[in-house]
Amino acid sequence: MPDATALPSPPRPAHFGDALVERVRALGHPLCVGIDPHLALVPEPFRRGAMSPDDPATADAVEVLCNALVDRVAGRVAVVKPQVAFFEQLGWRGVRALERVVARARAAGLLVLVDAKRGDIGSTAEGYAAAYFGARAPVRADALTVSPYLGLDTLAPFLDAARASGAGVFVLVKTSNPGSGDVQDLAV
């Protein structure tokens, strides 16, 4: 694996796809590190307080852990993928932690694929798209996972915002969870 210091953070290409290809070629592999801070699995050195969603110290512990992970993988992988549910369960403090972790990852030259699986109709989808791709997005994603379940028209706000900002969109098609076939394989 290349030395983290050997890969400085060059200016990003104008589009996520180009940036991803560039980073993968520079590193020689397509590894993406998931950032899924399950509260029960937070290592002892990072634990604070009760490690429960209602304990304000928990969001701080999650942020410290995730920032340490970002620091460890910077220059070694092309992409990090924070799962927003683990942050959202902690309320506003968790969302603030997510904002900070994403900002730190981007500053370290990592591409950030936010795993939010968003999908909704019209103006709601526009709101989600602005929250991740807008100029003032609190959680500025390089790419976002979205769900097309409500119809292809629900993807348009995400695709338009991604195109305007140079971001990427990962559309769920067939998921790997054991029960995915319950709906995804139905012949209707």
**Residues identified as active-site:** 117
CA distance 28 to 170: 22
User: Do the Cβ atoms of 39 and 48 come closer than 8 Å?
Assistant: no
Q: Which two tokens stand for residue 145?
A: 């996972």
CA distance 77 to 57: 29
Q: C-alpha angle with apex 20: 17 to 25, nearest 5 degrees?
A: 125
Contacts of 163 (CB under 8 A, 6+ apart): none
CA distance 187 to 174: 14
Bridge partners (DSSP) listed for residue 111: 79
CA distance 3 to 157: 39
Taking the CA atoms of 177, 178, 183 and 184 in sequence, report the sign of the dihedral they define.
positive
Give CA torsion, residues 89, 94, 100, 102, to 10 deg: 0
